[in-house]
Amino acid sequence: MTIRFDGRVAIVTGAGNGLGRAHALGLAARGAKVVVNDFGGARDGTGGSMTAAETVVEEIRKAGGVAMADGADVSNYEQVRAMVEKATKEWGSVDLMVANAGILRDKSFGKMELSDFQKVIDVHLAGTFYCCKAVWDGMRERNYGRIVLTTSSSGMFGNFGQANYGAAKAGIVGLMNVLAQEGRKTDIRVNTVSPTAATRMTEELLPPQALALMKPEAITPAVLYMLGDNAPTRTIMGAGAGSFAVIKIIETEGV
Ligand code: ADP
């Protein structure tokens, strides 16, 4: 892949593990300065220390890349703003945002507590909104920005036990639809990736043979493509098992 990100500053949320880690490593290997965000909590969103993010930063530095760790909880707007301010102070701008942080609180709808719904909406949907909001003005001022949001087939087709997650992931497509249009006034492009990969989130759901084919790194090329200068506008990109395909190009005008 020849795409490069020299001189660009990226934030990848939830980058201590799985997909986010793979995206952060891919960006750094291609020249971006990367904020590796992770609050380091348990999969249900509780607890937290950013050790996982610090470990990924070490990996990037060992490979000759430039990165810093950040422990913001994406469901807390003040913390997200502080992360963007820190990156801007250190490196001058935030040009690329990958909103990837996520948790699961799967339960059949009858058993789902209001708190299970609220927590997942807070992290995925509000958290994604906050990440966009915190970088938006800066991107508009500099007339450049690339944002990739993480959706899921669960948001489009539905998965048992995921009323909370599916609603949040469908909402993320709704957010992308508006930001992609408003961003067009300046050179801000907002797209979504719908990944199928073996991560902490999917390991309990899929058989080992399937997981072996689904490395998180297989998703990264789709994300890097949507972060590049020639990114599409308003696309849902399905990615998995070493290939990626457009699920839906909503519009291409302006590309
Ligand atoms: P996947 O790679 O499929 O997204 P993972 O569970 O491996 O699933 O990775 C998600 C990452 O998001 C985890 O490292 C987790 O700590 C992080 N994360 C979860 N909630 C938050 C949050 N509120 N703020 C920042 N990071 C979070």
Catalytic residue among 77, 130, 144, 165: 165
How does pLDDT run across 18-27, given as a tens digit for each residue? 999 999 999 9
At residue 162's C-alpha, the angle toward residues 158 and 165, to 5°, is: 95
Q: Is 130 a catalytic residue?
A: no
In this model, does residue 252 exceed pLDDT 60? Answer: no
Q: Where are the alpha helices (DSSP H) in the chain?
A: 18-29, 51-62, 77-91, 114-120, 127-142, 153-156, 163-183, 208-213, 220-227
Distance between Cα 5 and ligand 1 center (Å): 24
In this model, does residue 141 exceed pLDDT 50? Answer: yes
Categorize the per-residue pLDDT at 50 as very low, low, confident or very high, splitting at 50, 70 and 90: confident
ipTM of this complex > 0.90?
Answer: yes
Contact 195, 149 (CB under 8 A): no
Task: Give the number of other Cβ atoms within 10 Å of residue 246's Cβ.
Answer: 13
Distance between Cα 252 and ligand 1 center (Å): 31
The model's pTM: 0.93
Distance between Cα 215 and ligand 1 center (Å): 16
Ligand 1 site, residue 17, Cβ cutoff 6 A:
yes
Q: What is the CA radius of gyration of the chain?
A: 17
Copy the structure tokens of residue 126: 């509000």
pLDDT of residue 55: 95
Ligand 1 site, residue 25, Cβ cutoff 6 A:
no
Which ligand 1 atom minimizes the distance to the CA of 38? 26
Which ligand 1 atom minimizes the distance to the CA of 101? 12
Categorize the per-residue pLDDT at 255 as very low, low, confident or very high, splitting at 50, 70 and 90: very low
Ligand 1 site, residue 223, Cβ cutoff 6 A:
no
